[in-house]
């Protein structure tokens, strides 16, 4: 099997991956490679809309302490507080760095960088570029990347496994979708920046490519996955497509209304109203719908409304142009004149590959950053605008650390035996036949139905057990999937089976973790255990791969500044 060699391999070309690659390439002279299963600018990060949180105006009343407190309270006290402290101090530096690299941040009339309110933040803290923040950030990082001739790119190249020898990283196996070639990429250091896995849900804000491949690969390679039971539902997924109506729509002053025309958040979070944290707003919406104050929607997607009319045409056009365009093009609704139908949509995994505060995993030479990682910044519920900031901060930290490690390591670890590589090639290409009886698309849809119906905003032990049994059945049916396309070039038929395989493993981790966690905290809300239980559950879940399903272990949350108190808004 042919192989390529690089010092640092960055797996993923989203915000975390690009920021990591720039940092690793800068000053080090190392040979850095970025691998992505899509074209670089098609990573989900381009979809980020509303903003990136950072303390930019300490002279006007914001502070690191306040950002840290908001994040920790928003995360229902499961955040590691040393991690939060580092995050709030580093985020403003990243905003200014992007500014120097040419990003078109939206501005205030006095020329300073503008900031808008966001859910759970007690200060207008989200830096933004209209409602296309992620796109502007990605474009700026992509431009900057052009300065580094020591960075190579593998676009449209699917990584299928991470190889480890003697507890040390040695390389990844890659399938070039454009040529069909299967090969090995040897490296000294790896940064996993493969993003989220929300596509196991049917109603989601995520791109089709968000299938958690990196998490599943890391899990199979023996790395623990942390806190995956904490799934975030964003309160304003457009019905019926699930496309995100950014939180900035509420940040800019949008109202949430029930079928009586009431601003119902008054009952649930009187001080924060529509800009309460997402877990609270999502639960409030579902409660309104369940109690008969929603609007009937297609396929059971009953909804509430977000009303922007009072903001006026000028503000909508300046601050939320893409939201207007999406509402017009997908729903034939112009938000200047009509409210938009929305309901909670699966949006983010607080969990991911377990790392320490430096983004390092338990395997020498492997780091993880961005949404694929769980450095324990977000605890049980992420605040809006903290994720893009996290990608930048830990992109930089992991890029820097991986480069230092690779610089010190004189040789690239030798590749594994040819037989090991051939075995992985067979796992990818020979597991499925054109004679199978099952369809990967049907399995994926069934998985999505289970997750939507049993693993939603509210959970019960009974529903989770049903989900676990059904996921087990789907896993058993997977080997009999039919793959009609026998070629290797752009075989999207096969790709979708590999993705479903990954989603099933991750769904099993989520449900197993959620079933064990007999409390409610942040995004994990059990009807049969409605209270937070700090005595028994102020701890992170670690899931380890075994052939029979995940084995769970726990580690304490790091509390350095604030003891948990009741969470009220």
Residues with active-site annotation: 234, 250
Query: Of these, 232, 361, 388, 520, which contacts ligand FAD (CB under 6 A)?
Result: 388
Binding residues for ligand FAD, total number by CB under 6 A: 42
3 state DSSP class of 98:
helix
505 binds ligand FAD (CB under 6 A): no
Q: Which of residues 129-158 bind ligand FAD (CB under 6 A)?
A: 133-134, 158
Instruction: Give 493-535 as a 3 state SS string.
Output: HHHHHHHHHHHHHHHHHHHHHHHHCCCCECCECECCCCCCCHH
DSSP label at 420?
Answer: H
- Which of 71, 106, 144, 194 contacts ligand FAD by CB under 6 A? 194
Our CB check for ligand FAD shows the closer of 163 and 515 to be: 163
Among 92, 195, 379, 436, binds ligand FAD (CB under 6 A): 195
Site string for ligand FAD, 201-240 (x = CB under 6 A): ----xx--xx--xx--------------------------
Q: Which is nearer to ligand FAD, 246 or 525 (CB)?
A: 246
Q: What is the DSSP letter of 266?
A: H
Q: How far is the CB of 71 from ligand FAD (least distance, A)?
A: 12
Contact call for residues 545 and 220 (beta carbons, < 8 A)? yes
Q: Does 277 bind ligand FAD (CB under 6 A)?
A: no
Torsion of CA 505, 508, 513, 516, to 10 degrees: -150
Q: Are 301 and 242 in contact (CB under 8 A)?
A: no
Q: Does 81 bind ligand FAD (CB under 6 A)?
A: no
Q: Which stretch binds ligand FAD (CB under 6 A): 15-23, 94-102, 221-229, 357-365?
A: 15-23
CA distance 489 to 109: 52
- In this complex, which beta carbon is closest to ligand FAD, that of residue 352 or of residue 550? 352
Closest residue to bound ligand FAD by CB: 14
Cα-trace Rg, the chain:
23
Mask for 17-56, x = binds ligand FAD (CB under 6 A): x-----------------xxxx----xxx-xxxxxx----
Residue 41 neighbours by CB distance under 10 Å: 15
Query: Beta-carbon neighbour count of residue 167 at 10 Å?
Result: 10
Least distance from ligand FAD to the Cβ atom of residue 217, Å? 7
For ligand FAD, the closer CB: 38 or 83: 38
Burial of residue 255, with CB atoms counted within 10 A of its CB: 0-12 exposed, 13-18 middle, 19 or more buried: buried
Q: How far is the CB of 237 from ligand FAD (least distance, A)?
A: 9
Q: Is 331 exposed, middle or buried (0-12, 13-18, 19+ CB in 10 A)?
A: middle
CB of 244 or CB of 316, closer to ligand FAD = 244
- Taking CB under 6 A as the binding criterion, the range among 12-20, 431-439, 456-464, 555-563 that sits at the site for ligand FAD is 12-20
Please give the torsion angle defined by the CA atoms of residues 475, 480, 481 and 486, in that order, rounded to the nearest 10 degrees.
140
Q: How many helices (H) and strands (E) does the chain have?
A: 16, 19
In the complex with ligand FAD, the residue whose CB is nearer, 194 or 258, is 194
Give the binding range for ligand FAD (CB under 6 A) out of 256-264, 309-317, 364-372, 487-495: 364-372
- Binding to ligand FAD (CB under 6 A): which residues in 367-386? 370-372, 385-386
Structure tokens at 209: 């490519």
- Residue (7 or 390) nearer to ligand FAD, CB: 390
Q: How far is the CB of 395 from ligand FAD (least distance, A)?
A: 7
Nearest distance in Å: CB 533, ligand FAD = 28
CA distance 322 to 299: 26
* Residue 48 Cβ vs ligand FAD, minimum distance, rounded to whole Å: 3
Smallest distance, Å, CB 370 to ligand FAD?
Answer: 2
Residue 159 in the binding site for ligand FAD (CB under 6 A)? yes
Using CB under 6 A, pick the residue from 10, 21, 79, 193 that binds ligand FAD. 193
Comparing CB distances to ligand FAD, the nearer of 213 and 508 is 213
13 binds ligand FAD (CB under 6 A): yes
Measured from the CB atom, is 213 or 285 closer to ligand FAD? 213
DSSP 370-408: GGGEE-SSSTTSPPTTHHHHHHHHHHHHHHHHHHHHHHH
C-alpha 326/C-alpha 335 separation (Å) is: 10
- Other C-beta atoms closer than 10 Å to the C-beta of 441 total 13
> Applying CB under 6 A, which part among 13-21, 67-75, 467-475, 479-487 lies near ligand FAD?
13-21
CA angle centred on 88, ends 46 and 561, rounded to 5°: 140
**CA–CA separation, 344 and 203 (whole Å):** 8
Q: Which is nearer to ligand FAD, 454 or 502 (CB)?
A: 502
Residue indicated by tokens 């190889």: 163
Each residue of 103-139: b (16+ CB within 10 Å) or e? bebbeeeeeebbbbbbbbbbbbbbbbbbbbbbbbbbb
CA dihedral 114, 118, 122, 125 (to 10 degrees): -30
Among 7, 10, 12, 294, binds ligand FAD (CB under 6 A): 12
Polymer length of the chain: 569
Least distance between ligand FAD and beta carbon 177 (Å)? 10
Instruction: Give the binding site for ligand FAD (CB under 6 A).
Output: 11-17, 35-38, 43-45, 47-52, 133-134, 158-159, 193-195, 205-206, 209-210, 213-214, 244, 370-372, 385-388, 391
């Amino acid at each position: 099997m042919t192989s390529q060699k690089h010092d640092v391999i960055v797996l993923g070309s989203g915000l975390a991956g690009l920021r990591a690659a720039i940092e690793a390439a800068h000053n080090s002279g190392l040979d850095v490679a970025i691998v992505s299963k899509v074209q670089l600018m098609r990573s989900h990060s381009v979809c980020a809309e509303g903003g990136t949180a950072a303390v930019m105006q300490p002279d006007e009343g914001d502070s690191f302490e306040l950002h840290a407190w908001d994040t920790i309270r928003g995360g229902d006290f499961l955040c590691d507080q040393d991690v939060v402290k580092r995050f709030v101090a580093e985020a403003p530096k990243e905003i200014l760095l992007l500014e120097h690299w040419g990003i078109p941040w939206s501005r205030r009339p006095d020329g300073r960088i503008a900031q808008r309110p966001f859910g759970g933040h007690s200060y207008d803290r989200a830096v933004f570029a209209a409602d296309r923040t992620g796109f502007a950030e990605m474009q700026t990082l992509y431009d900057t990347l052009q300065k580094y001739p020591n960075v190579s790119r593998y676009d449209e190249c699917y990584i299928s496994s991470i190889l480890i020898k003697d507890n040390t990283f040695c390389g990844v196996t890659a399938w070039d979708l454009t040529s069909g070639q299967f090969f090995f990429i040897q490296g000294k250091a790896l940064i996993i920046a493969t993003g989220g896995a929300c596509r196991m849900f049917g109603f989601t804000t995520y791109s089709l490519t968000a299938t958690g491949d990196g998490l599943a690969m890391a899990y199979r390679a023996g790395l623990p996955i942390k806190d995956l039971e904490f799934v975030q539902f964003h309160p304003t997924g457009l019905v019926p497509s699930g496309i995100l109506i950014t939180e900035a729509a509420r940040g800019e002053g949008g109202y949430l209304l029930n079928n009586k025309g009431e601003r119902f958040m008054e009952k649930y979070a009187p001080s924060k109203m529509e800009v309460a944290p997402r877990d609270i707003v999502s639960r409030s919406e579902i409660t309104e719908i369940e109690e008969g104050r929603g609007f009937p929607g297609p396929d059971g997607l009953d909804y509430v409304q977000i009303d922007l009319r009072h903001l006026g045409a000028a503000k909508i056009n300046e601050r939320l142009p893409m939201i207007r365009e999406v509402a017009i093009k997908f729903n034939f609704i112009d938000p200047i004149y009509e409210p938009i139908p929305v309901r909670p949509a699966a949006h983010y995994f607080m969990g991911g590959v377990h790392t320490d505060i430096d983004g390092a995993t338990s395997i020498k030479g492997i780091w993880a950053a961005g949404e694929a990682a769980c450095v324990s910044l977000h605890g049980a519920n992420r605040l809006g605008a903290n994720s893009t900031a996290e990608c930048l901060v830990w992109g930089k930290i992991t890029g820097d650390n991986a480069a230092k490690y690779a610089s010190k390591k004189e040789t690239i670890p030798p590749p594994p035996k040819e037989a090991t590589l051939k075995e992985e090639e067979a796992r990818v290409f020979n597991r499925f036949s054109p004679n199978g009886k099952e369809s990967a698309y049907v399995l994926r849809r069934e998985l999505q139905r289970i997750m939507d119906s049993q693993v939603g905003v509210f959970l019960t032990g009974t529903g989770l057990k049903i989900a676990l049994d059904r996921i087990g059945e789907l896993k058993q049916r997977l080997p009999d999937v039919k793959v009609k396309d026998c070629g290797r070039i752009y075989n999207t038929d096969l790709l979708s089976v590999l993705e479903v395989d990954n989603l099933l493993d991750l769904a099993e981790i989520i449900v197993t973790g959620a079933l064990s966690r007999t409390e409610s905290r942040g995004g994990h809300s059990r009807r049969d255990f409605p209270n937070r239980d700090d005595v028994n559950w102020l701890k992170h879940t670690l899931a380890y791969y075994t052939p029979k399903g995940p084995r769970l272990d726990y580690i304490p949350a790091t509390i350095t500044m604030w003891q948990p108190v009741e969470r009220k808004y």
